[in-house]
Amino acid sequence: MAATDLLSDRTIQAALKAAAVAGKSRKLSDGAGLVLDVRPTGVGWWRLRFWRDGKEGMISLGTYPVISLKAARIKRNEAREAKAHGADLSEKRKQEKAERARLREVEALEAAGLPGPGTFEYLAREWLEVRHRPAVSEGHAKTTQTRLEKMVFPWLGRRPICEIEPPELLECLRRIESRGALETTHRVKDACSQVFRYGVSTGACARNPAADLREALKPVPTRHFAAIVDPKGVKNLLRDLVAYKGNPITRAALRLSALLLLRPGELRSLEWSWVDFETATLTLPSAVMKRRLDEKANGQPHVVPMAAQVVAIFQELQPLTMHSRYVFPSILTREKCMSENTVRSALRRLGYGNDDMIAHGFRAMARTMLAEQLNVQPEVIEAQLAHAVSDSLGRAYNRTQYLTQRRDMMTMWANYLEQLQSTDEGSRNE
């Protein structure tokens, strides 16, 4: 026993019994900074007091009897030797505590069948919750998660993210590409790239290997929405829409698809509370627009001027659907809007296939013909289409809605379509 050692197991056991009887804690010193905090519960806490830069510090060495007197003295001596060599005992203890917590987390994750910290899947799931989900719609976040779970995690999920190299990621992406799913391949690569960038920012990895694959994948073919954009074809389409013999609500949806320039999802989810006959406007809340999550929450509503022809169609619809919240309610329940396939199916019944005209094609039709046939300024058309300004500075500072110009444009467009439908002329410019 060293000269500084003052305690014995018999002394400690007697002190524990006395503390239990008295119901009070007491401290026993073994010398050289080692102290046992004796509790009435029958447990003692080993503490090591030390001085650094003139300030007293204290670290825990464990509990008695789990840590015996002999083991506590060994820990004390090791700590004093480390301090003599310049170690910061408090910092060393924090690191040890953090490492133990990390190991416990790893064990818990392994027991649950999940990858541990530092793996690609661990960082990807953290990125999904911390960065991705708060920034996008729930549907978008779920799609991203599903793609990672099915197309990436089985091969790279348990790999340390810092060890993944470009060829390994490319091999994973080639599996998707080989199925012909080129757009999905690029979306998965983009998601992986964001995970790696998140890993770099958190210190989990040093680089983003996805950045080196920019030219390694097959490009996604440019695709355009099937749309009729020549005056003669549009004239025939308009006549077919008016002659539609199906549900009158569907017929109105077809006609308004051509007149309002809304996205199909925006059109079918229109609510009567958004229709203002007095000002001849529709006001779509920001939350229903195609925008980023933060823009949906904080963005301006999208105001759509209604031409006289549009107002007339809404007035025709009132007796049919005013009982519902929606202008175009589902045929099954008033509580939901019409199906996303309703307009598409109606176009099919009229003889227009997927390569001829789709619901989204009405926007492309208007975009092309407003510019080519009516000479409307592109920025006014883009504002009506609710397209975001392409540059970040514009998105931050461009608040112009061109409402006056859009009102004139929407009236001009409705009159042009009416004229086109009722005459044999193919174009105003003929």
- Which residues does 227 contact at the CB level (< 8 Å), separation at least 6? 357, 358, 360, 361, 362, 363, 364, 365, 368
- Of 80, 336, 360, 402, which is the active-site residue? 360
> Residue 248 to residues 206, 267, 317, 375: CA-CA distances in angstroms?
61, 16, 8, 33
Find the catalytic residue in 218, 387, 395, 428.
387
Confirm whether 224 is a catalytic residue.
no
Contact 64, 30 (CB under 8 A): no
- Concerning whether 263 is annotated as a catalytic residue, the answer is yes
Whose CA is closest to 350, among 247, 229, 237? Answer: 237
C-alpha torsion 244→340→359→279, nearest 10: 80
Which of the following is catalytic: 290, 292, 336, 348? Answer: 290
Q: Which of 363, 367, 406, 407 is catalytic?
A: 363
Active site residue 186: no
Distances from the Cα of 356 to the Cα of 227, 242, 344, 359, 375, angstroms: 6, 18, 11, 11, 25
Instruction: Please give the C-alpha separations between residue 340 and each of 36, 133, 188, 274, in angstroms, as whole numbers.
Output: 72, 25, 26, 20
Q: In what order do the strands lie in the sheet with 55-64?
A: 26-31, 34-38, 44-52, 55-64
CA atoms within 13 A on the CB side of 180: 0
Rounded Cα distance, 257 and 261, in Å: 6
Asked about 290 being catalytic, the answer comes back as yes
User: Residues 235, 251, 263, 367: which is the catalytic one?
Assistant: 263
Diameter of the chain by CA atoms? 115
Return d(Cα 67, Cα 115) in angstroms, integer.
32
Q: How many residues does the chain have?
A: 430
Active site residue 73: no
Whether 125 and 158 have beta carbons less than 8 Å apart is answered as no
| Residues 72-75: contacts with CB under 8 Å, at least 24 apart | 72/30, 72/34, 72/36, 72/46, 73/2, 73/5, 73/30, 73/34, 75/46, 75/48
Q: What are the tokens at 109?
A: 């994750």
- Catalytically active residues are 263, 290, 360, 363, 387, 397
